[in-house]
Structure 1
């Protein structure tokens, strides 16, 4: 792995850099920061400072290196010395306010950027409006000394996609920016795109290594299909293919003794509803009368373990680290609110620690091992089958009454609601740290083996 070096900027306009003695045998002609490279003079350090690169003010200014840079990595390829990585976080929803330049998400981004010094990167936030295509620069938003600063920097080594929703992702201007930076500037872009539930199911079900985690799932086609699934499983879930946050999820239950159909869902007034119908047709005519059913999928109901007769599932986060390997970074339980069809906090759900659900040490360790094994297998399978570079995934998993693990959903931009639990703070930090540490790995790969990244 590459080492981190302190960046020491000294007076002087001559483009010169003083290198530690470990680089004495290298013959450099250029220095690069982000996607900008310049010719420079390379000299051995007069006093071999421990892990320090000393750069003249003139060279640092020409490279547009911010004065408050922390330790950075050094990458060597042929006769170019790369320092970085410079990481751009691409998003939307900017405001004209200096204190909250990204609106309500400003606090999240300030926390995300706070891990840049520990991982040895320089990280900023930007949108399409901050790009100067002619100059090849970006007016990036940096969070330094507890305040937001806008600084001009070169195009970054890698870009981390943090677009907030599908609507912003489908914006034609945003799509054009993504295509241009990837195709023309060959900048690796990770975590692109929100997952389509049905597409993810169809990809995973074709992989025999993970297919057993998947409940039977189909696009909505007819009531007869739902009747068949209700006969097989007793209950099914109707979900929007492009949904998130548990919005639009309906549970349909068939009571064989009564011959009645029950539906549980959350209405537009944020009320949990439980309704009874004599037929499936009357249920659909009443509940789904104004909805396009081609936008929904039907999923097998699972008899999950419950607590106090409340639905229970689990969120498992995985991240790629600075070696490019998948890690399980967080596991937490989610307990549904009373009468709720999902476990989301905005539907009245609560977060529980694994210890609270499984107080017996042996049982807890077995469950953690099962979840970890499933999440890592699923992460590797998705990575192989999804276009683009994936660096993090949030899985919604469940356990049925026999102890079998089930996958309900995979999220390419996982929410962070589980980290509101005070005892999950260290895991919240780990997910932030690794989501940016992965950029170090990508930068190294893009410099040394670009064909591996850009294929």
Structure 2
């Protein structure tokens, strides 16, 4: 039985657990578990209160259950597992209980509040909250419209929401993650930030998806740029590990003028400049940047809306069975003079119906959905670890051919500022809980099997 029930406490025998008769007909349950904590118990079935599990106050304290709430119990072998207990691992904590994770507090609160009716035990934690000796974590719960600190066991599954690559690569962060994964066998999703070049290498030989890839080369020297410019109208130069459109530049060579035009963003301002040579351009635009970690990519002439280029953010998420779904497709219209469609560069978010007529909107939607699902499935097989969500930046050219520009393992939430996408946002949060629960069950069952 996997229905959600409420957990309450009683003051009777310290190891007594009372469960609905509908939950189990077996008398072989000897243990009760919450997160990574597990204790012997005496199980009693009742034919009343079908949606309640009652445990002693002592067991509640020993298991570090922070409050009475909704859980989804599963029986594995001789153990009644309460949960799941889902930890969201991040960094950037403050001293304030009003905004414990700074500007991201609202995003996390929104995610947790959406799922509280189904599962109350979702918390946020950082490296500083872990007590290895007691195997507990001081985490932050969002309940009844406020943040509270509670001590809980190590979780059954961890959602990786570290905010940037620098923090993710910190040696202490990596040490913590490795210990929780290897010593405690706790599954993590999602993996680390994707590297653009690594993804290109993994996808370019896959028959089902390679046609979505623009020609891409690792930067070696100016000849790399010249070669692609000789074959294409313009090229993009992007950092392998960049995000939010940071340091993306566009170079176009005008043969009649023998001039290189460069569009880029500097000090918050979109710029378009021309240069007499590629060498002068690189020395000026990249004067403070080393190019050995950049890629050079074929430019794509995108479809336009109100004379501005448009690309698309497509989110895919896994459900309770680990199956991929397209959860949202948003059109992003570039800001005037911008090299990208990101909102921080002046971009706007639209629905497909706002920029296309009905037939074309459906046609583009179907093509984008097919591409996103195919690429999600390939990456799922190619990459290590558990992937529960991907945010794609896809382009469509004038021939309605779909192109992959970027895949994000931790997609941002900026498109949801458009009220048209609120329902999609709810679906994503629902699937987040479904997939976390799915991983939690898989992990718990595998531990029993191993033993």
| TM-score band, normalised by shorter chain | over 0.9
Question: Partner of 1:399 in structure 2?
Answer: 396
Q: Could you list the runs of 5+ residues in structure 2 that have no partner in the other structure?
A: none
Question: Partner of 2:419 in structure 1?
Answer: 422
The answer to whether the 8 A contact 2:77-2:448 is kept is no
Question: Partner of 1:377 in structure 2?
Answer: 374
CA distance in 2 between counterparts of 1:33 and 1:200 reads 38
Question: Partner of 1:33 in structure 2?
Answer: 34
The answer to whether the 8 A contact 2:217-2:296 is kept is yes
Question: Partner of 1:323 in structure 2?
Answer: 321
Q: Which moved more, 1:98-107 or 1:152-161?
A: 98-107
Question: Partner of 2:96 in structure 1?
Answer: 97
- Given candidates 425, 441, 449, the residue that maps to 1:444 is 441
CA distance in 2 between counterparts of 1:384 and 1:121 reads 32
| Aligned residue-pair number | 449
CA distance in 1 between counterparts of 2:281 and 2:102 reads 41
The answer to whether the 8 A contact 2:250-2:339 is kept is yes
Deviations 1:394-452 (A, max 9, x none): 00001011111000000011111100001111111222222232110001111223599
Question: Partner of 1:238 in structure 2?
Answer: 237
Q: Mapping of 1:127-138 within 5 angstroms?
A: 127-138=126-137
CA distance in 1 between counterparts of 2:448 and 2:230 reads 51
Tell me the secondary structure at the aligned position of residue 114 of structure 1: helix
Cα 1:14/1:265, change in 2 over 3 Å:
same
Q: Mapping of 1:181-192 within 5 angstroms?
A: 181-192=180-191
Q: Could you list the runs of 5+ residues in structure 1 that have no partner in the other structure?
A: none
Q: TM-score scaled by structure 1?
A: 0.95
CA distance in 2 between counterparts of 1:396 and 1:450 reads 38
Question: Partner of 1:262 in structure 2?
Answer: 261
CA distance in 2 between counterparts of 1:187 and 1:341 reads 41
Q: Mapping of 1:134-149 within 5 angstroms?
A: 134-149=133-148
Deviations 1:286-326 (A, max 9, x none): 22233211021100001111123211100000111122111
**Cα offset, 1:121, TM superposition:** 5.2
Tell me the secondary structure at the aligned position of residue 449 of structure 1: helix
Cα 1:118/1:211, change in 2 over 3 Å:
farther
Q: TM-score scaled by structure 2?
A: 0.96
Counterpart check, 1:410 vs 2:411: no
Deviations 1:342-377 (A, max 9, x none): 0000000000111111132x2212211111111111
Question: Partner of 2:66 in structure 1?
Answer: 66
CA distance in 1 between counterparts of 2:161 and 2:250 reads 31
**Cα offset, 1:11, TM superposition:** 2.8
Q: Mapping of 1:213-292 within 5 angstroms?
A: 213-267=212-266, 269-292=267-290
Deviations 1:79-119 (A, max 9, x none): 11111000010011111112111111111111111133344
The answer to whether the 8 A contact 2:19-2:43 is kept is yes
Question: Partner of 1:357 in structure 2?
Answer: 355
Tell me the secondary structure at the aligned position of residue 349 of structure 2: strand
**Cα offset, 1:211, TM superposition:** 0.7
**Cα offset, 1:133, TM superposition:** 0.4
Q: Mapping of 1:46-65 within 5 angstroms?
A: 47-65=47-65
Q: Mapping of 1:288-327 within 5 angstroms?
A: 288-327=286-325
Tell me the secondary structure at the aligned position of residue 151 of structure 1: strand
Tell me the secondary structure at the aligned position of residue 138 of structure 2: strand
Question: Partner of 1:11 in structure 2?
Answer: 11
Cα RMSD of the aligned pairs, angstroms, is: 1.6
Cα 1:409/1:450, change in 2 over 3 Å:
farther
**Cα offset, 1:26, TM superposition:** 4.2
Q: After TM superposition, what 4+ stretches of structure 1 lie above 6 angstroms from structure 2?
A: none
Question: Partner of 2:21 in structure 1?
Answer: 21
Tell me the secondary structure at the aligned position of residue 324 of structure 1: coil
